[in-house]
Structure 1
């Protein structure tokens, strides 16, 4: 790969996404967008989140989404394991491992962040019937309050981790874009469901998307980017 192509790759996949993330994260930190976007899903009269245990947000998107991501991860793991026994799968061994690691590390880092950042869910905040004062992400956490474990957005990480399909299919551009749209769409859907339930603010999902994208990008750079093309594609 030439220096020009290499520079173009990193500009497109690292610098531009990072600039977009900084812009969005900064806007949410400096404005009340999080509160405005969560407000429609909270009933101030009854002081509760109507969709917290709904069939579509709590059941379909939250519980069903977990099983979908587990199925995808298990499928990639099975393909990786099967590649040692099936000759046709050998070329895709590294790609399958890449998907397993992208899903595992993306969701794992987000889960670790939730344990360390001490940020609370909307439903914990006094603005929404909870007992913890609302603070922005970069403000000091309330003194004497129980530890928060709601940032970044864990459930959305499962969907956003599937943006790794973009890199797994990178040399087949149309399929790669479908993979990107699928992963981003699922992450956004999972994130929307959690916002509707009062489990996360929108900004939590923005940070999660950035983490999952970075994990997939770095794994691709180390594992797949210099991988030779199969003969069938090289001869096209």
Structure 2
């Protein structure tokens, strides 16, 4: 979070986008790989994985059998809440996407996402990065394994986290190259999803302890 705040304060966001685009827009905005594969294709894959997680929550198979019922529901809830959290913030955000800026052929002016309530002349609803949440939301998937007392499960959890974070960074970068999001948008998406996942994990842990205490009375 500290590094993200420092980046925000430096206004490197605009500098990075200026390096990638110009008055005629962003050259890679409609590149087939970035738009069709990394955006549309990745989003469709994320939906399939999400549906797969929901299916495994109800009908566990493979490694999912190692998880208790409440852990499976924790994963499903954590992913869902992470997606909802990012969507909710985007809905109230007045920040427009870089490709809407006047500097890149649009109509909006650059306004920091910290300038709450200040409109930039664009359509807004671009902060944080929604596409990156297609990966970062799955941070919740790794927590039951990551917080396990079993060494092998912890190792699996770390591997999951690494793949999820790397995937989120790649998806975020692909959108930055297209001019859709500033680099900081990806970082904040990761932080929102991680915070939501850990809060959800804490609530499920509290509920489990409370339930066990009531049963043992």
Task: Give yes or no for TM over 0.5.
Answer: yes
Compute the displacement of 1:67 (Å): 1.6
Q: Is the 8 A contact 1:155 1:190 kept in 2?
A: yes
| Alignment-derived partner of residue 183 in structure 2 | 202
Q: Distance in 2 between matches of 1:177 and 1:200?
A: 28
Q: Distance in 1 between matches of 2:158 and 2:113?
A: 32
Q: Is the 8 A contact 1:79 1:93 kept in 2?
A: no
| Alignment-derived partner of residue 49 in structure 2 | 72
Matched ranges for 1:29-108 at <5 A? 29-42=8-21, 44=22, 47-82=24-59, 89=65, 91-108=67-84
1:119 aligns with 2:95: yes
May I ask how many residue pairs the two structures share in their alignment?
202
Matched ranges for 1:137-148 at <5 A? 137-139=113-115, 145-148=121-124
Secondary structure of the residue that 1:169 maps to in structure 2? helix
| Alignment-derived partner of residue 213 in structure 2 | none
Compute the displacement of 1:225 (Å): 7.7
Q: Deviations over 1:69-103 (max 9, x none)?
A: 112211111012225xxxx9495432332222222
Structure 2-normalised TM-score? 0.83
Compute the displacement of 1:197 (Å): 0.9
Q: Distance in 1 between matches of 2:40 and 2:119?
A: 33
Q: Distance in 2 between matches of 1:80 and 1:129?
A: 47
Compute the displacement of 1:176 (Å): 1.0
| Alignment-derived partner of residue 232 in structure 1 | none
Structure 1-normalised TM-score? 0.77
Compute the displacement of 1:136 (Å): 1.3
Unaligned runs of 5+ in 1: 1-20, 229-236
Q: Distance in 2 between matches of 1:158 and 1:144?
A: 27
RMSD over aligned CA atoms reads 2.5
1:132 aligns with 2:91: no
Unaligned runs of 5+ in 2: 210-217
Compute the displacement of 1:224 (Å): 4.7
1:188 aligns with 2:169: yes
Go from structure 1 to structure 2 and tell me whether the alpha carbon gap of 1:144 and 1:130 turns closer, same or farther (over 3 Å shift): closer
Secondary structure of the residue that 1:155 maps to in structure 2? coil
